[in-house]
Structure 1
Amino acid sequence: MTSGYNLTQRPAVSEADIQRLVRSDNADDRAVATHKICRVMERGALTDSDRLAAQEIIRMLAQDAAELVRRALAVTLRTSALLPHDVALKLAQDVVTVAVPVLTYSPLFSDEDLADIIRSGGPVRQVAIAKRETLSEVVTASLADSGVEEAVVIACANDNARFSDGGMNRVMDRFGTSEVVHSVLINRKVLPVSVSERLVTIVSAALREQLISHHAIKPETAIEIVTATRERATVDMADQAGASFDPQGLARHLMASERLTPSLILRALVRGHMGFFEHALAELSGVPHERTWLMVHDAGSLGLRAIYDRAGLPARMFQTFRMAIEIYHSLQAEAGHLDPLRMQERLIERFLTQAPFAPREDLIYLYERLDRDSRGRRWTRVSEASGTDMLKAA
């Protein structure tokens, strides 16, 4: 061994260890010596010259013909910054028993290194990378594009694996029918609104199949029921998202998927999602959000009518939308201090008493929502002979 790094000066390594490493024909002996020597080098206080010499020793060990020796090297230095970058890449391309420890733990790889290995390294290496403690969007994008399902599931189950909206939607494109993927996505702390909405759609599709096969409902009727269920779930999702709700993202996604319906917009508005209403009008009309906001809030009834008509919403529903906006503004002025849930409850209550000509299905939906959200109150529904739904305090 010609390195300037004198291992025999380190008390944890004996002359016999050096002899076994250099001369022994027994792979087990060389593996034991490799482990001891790597531990000494990794834990020692090294000068710059010592570090360079130690890395030359590591390069020599990485070329050992015995898999057991290379594995001892990989396992011992799997979290060490002493491992040279070129050796880390070499070990990553070695047999899986050698590659997996460094791919799972080594801090030496760049995001681009990991992305390249995912694309070309096969399932075992993909899974090893997916198990890393943290993953950047560059790495998860590569997993979303090229990873096997097991690797994608492992990454999705890790909230420290950051996914871009595009990466997460790519996961849905490739594994959208996987119940395991559905489960891990639903349990993530944060999901892009477009992915949440796609998950809602998948559940709704299952409901449509159940309705058709088990209840002898015509497909056309089932589709109508599922559409209503999907709209309810979409607005519920907006409520549950809280501070992370992205009204612009949801409006754009619904617009692109041709599901930005008047009914959904009205239901969201009456539940207090004014930002979503503004962005929905902006998407439908092609008018920038800033100008849309002015026409809704600061240009009187003529401005509202102009943007409403440009958005292509039904003329017969304009008065209903106008009344909902007026109620929202009045409650903001009267009771802006209310928490969001109580504000929503007040909005629904007042809308139900002042907008009797709203579409019947939307009124029924709001009745049900009020019934579900009321705090400590009990409500019962009564049906008049005319079929008009009413609410009465019990």
Structure 2
Amino acid sequence: MAYLSQEDVERLAADRTPATRAATMLRVGEVLASGVVGLEERLIAYAIIDRVLPEAEIEIRAELAKFLKNVPWLDHRLATRLANDVLEVAEPILAESLALSDEDLLAVIDRHSIGHARAIAKRSKLTAPVTSALIKTEDEVCVLRVASNDNAELEVGSMHRVLDRFAEHPPVVEAVSQRSMLPLAIVERLTAVVGGKVLQKLIERYDIPAHRVSRLIQHGREHVLLTSFALDQSADEIRSLVERLADNKLLTTSLILRALCLGNFTFLLPALAIQARIPSRNVRLLIADESGRGAERLFEHCAFEPRLKGMFIRLIELSRNVRSRRFGFAPSGWRAEVLAVIDLELGGANPEQSFDQRVTEVLMRLENGKDRGRGPDVTPLRSASAQ
């Protein structure tokens, strides 16, 4: 079919044979895909497709979608119609068609199957709003495709979400680590979850000081202990864990303070009791003391370094009226209050860092005895693109 005319539309209307009508529509699709049709023929082609598409079988609609997936001037209405069809029909359009807007893609992710989202994740270019929506599906296939595509825009918050959910999935973590121009906050977070050659490449590529990497890894292990292993244990099991850590000289100050920052009170209370060498009930009484002396006395019993005192007392005072959730964790609003204390200690917020990284940053600062805003370990992290 070299040319299309109004007579083709009229002939199609007169022929009610389904096979003939389907074949005609596919030939029209081929003409559109050839790119040699003018505006008038295009309109006629769309009229033919409009007549036949509602009655066409899935296989015919899928074949049409394959013809139209790379048509640069594909009618937007037709593109969205195919994109919202069953997956077999929608996949070529979702994966390749430039006729779909971000709003179209977001609507499909929200309303259709995970298969539709996976098709969108195949696109050669993806904007930040679309990658964010794909990552929120928490589907490993979607996330891996996005992370592996350097033409997929990823905001730092989306990268943190990937690492929050898939830190224990090596293919995803490695795909993130291999992206170009990672924000330094993400690079430093990766050092705690990768190893071997991947870690070495990150260190060399972003010139991270070896002593900082070592401390990040140490703090990363403590974080995993408190958020993974210690998450679903009973109070008795946690108490036994704390005692074993203390016996092996692994109940570090940073581990205790991290538990306080995370609001892991099931771990914190026996840890403070062992550190302070007083019964757990006395720890509770000191925390509950509203005179202003309880937190100070607890700090003195624990014999922590003096530079830790300000943050420790502010956090203990915050915890006084907190009702912990199941497994002894503070409620969701706790982290926002803790972050305000941490940012005050660090001299300002850093939106590129996750909450857990801010905890690590303040603990490293305090361990090092640095003044606010000074020293090699307190230089504000910048994205790699800013360096």
In the TM superposition, residue 173 of structure 1 has moved relative to its aligned partner by: 2.5
Q: Aligned to 1:259, what secondary structure does the other structure show?
A: helix
Alignment of 1:47-126 (within 5 A): 47-126=38-117
In the TM superposition, residue 7 of structure 1 has moved relative to its aligned partner by: 7.8
The one of 27, 31, 36 aligned to 2:27: 36
Maintained 8 Å contact 2:109/2:134:
yes
C-alpha separation between the residues in 1 aligned to 2:4 and 2:37? 10
Quickly say closer, same or farther: Cα 1:255–1:96, change in 2 above 3 A. closer
The one of 227, 245, 257 aligned to 2:359: 257
Quickly say closer, same or farther: Cα 1:178–1:282, change in 2 above 3 A. closer
Partner residue, 2:5? 6
Q: Deviations over 1:105-126 (max 9, x none)?
A: 1101111211221122221011
Q: Deviations over 1:216-275 (max 9, x none)?
A: x94764576999xxxxxxxxxxxxxxxxxxxx96996687224242488799xxxxxxx9
In the TM superposition, residue 282 of structure 1 has moved relative to its aligned partner by: 7.5
In the TM superposition, residue 185 of structure 1 has moved relative to its aligned partner by: 1.2
C-alpha separation between the residues in 2 aligned to 1:136 and 1:263? 39
In the TM superposition, residue 98 of structure 1 has moved relative to its aligned partner by: 0.3
Aligned residues between the structures: 243
- The higher radius of gyration belongs to 1
Quickly say closer, same or farther: Cα 1:193–1:70, change in 2 above 3 A. same
C-alpha separation between the residues in 2 aligned to 1:279 and 1:106? 47
> Partner letter of residue 6 of structure 1?
S
The one of 16, 21, 24 aligned to 2:17: 24
1:178 aligned to 2:174?
A: no
Q: Aligned to 1:201, what secondary structure does the other structure show?
A: coil
C-alpha separation between the residues in 2 aligned to 1:169 and 1:6? 55
Quickly say closer, same or farther: Cα 1:44–1:106, change in 2 above 3 A. closer
C-alpha separation between the residues in 2 aligned to 1:90 and 1:223? 60
Partner residue, 1:198? 189
In the TM superposition, residue 35 of structure 1 has moved relative to its aligned partner by: 2.9
C-alpha separation between the residues in 1 aligned to 2:143 and 2:131? 8
> Partner letter of residue 114 of structure 2?
P
C-alpha separation between the residues in 2 aligned to 1:266 and 1:114? 50
In the TM superposition, residue 133 of structure 1 has moved relative to its aligned partner by: 0.6
> Partner letter of residue 180 of structure 1?
P
In the TM superposition, residue 153 of structure 1 has moved relative to its aligned partner by: 0.8
In the TM superposition, residue 184 of structure 1 has moved relative to its aligned partner by: 1.4
The one of 276, 280, 297 aligned to 2:378: 280
Maintained 8 Å contact 1:207/1:226:
no
C-alpha separation between the residues in 2 aligned to 1:157 and 1:282? 28
C-alpha separation between the residues in 1 aligned to 2:221 and 2:357? 23
Q: Aligned to 1:142, what secondary structure does the other structure show?
A: helix
Maintained 8 Å contact 2:61/2:89:
yes
Quickly say closer, same or farther: Cα 1:109–1:142, change in 2 above 3 A. same
Maintained 8 Å contact 1:75/1:101:
yes
Fraction of identical pairs, as percent: 27
Structure 1: which 5+ runs fail to align? Answer: 10-14, 228-247, 268-274, 284-394
Maintained 8 Å contact 1:93/1:99:
yes
Maintained 8 Å contact 2:109/2:116:
yes
TM-score, length of structure 1 as denominator length: 0.51
Maintained 8 Å contact 2:22/2:52:
no
Structure 2: which 5+ runs fail to align? Answer: 195-216, 230-243, 256-348, 382-387
Partner residue, 2:153? 162
> Partner letter of residue 56 of structure 2?
A
The one of 136, 143, 161 aligned to 1:145: 136
Quickly say closer, same or farther: Cα 1:185–1:221, change in 2 above 3 A. farther
Over the residues paired in the alignment, what is the CA RMSD in angstroms? Answer: 4.4
In the TM superposition, residue 95 of structure 1 has moved relative to its aligned partner by: 1.4
Maintained 8 Å contact 1:135/1:161:
yes
Maintained 8 Å contact 1:251/1:276:
no
In the TM superposition, residue 103 of structure 1 has moved relative to its aligned partner by: 0.5
C-alpha separation between the residues in 2 aligned to 1:186 and 1:165? 13
Partner residue, 1:136? 127
In the TM superposition, residue 158 of structure 1 has moved relative to its aligned partner by: 0.9
Quickly say closer, same or farther: Cα 1:45–1:263, change in 2 above 3 A. same
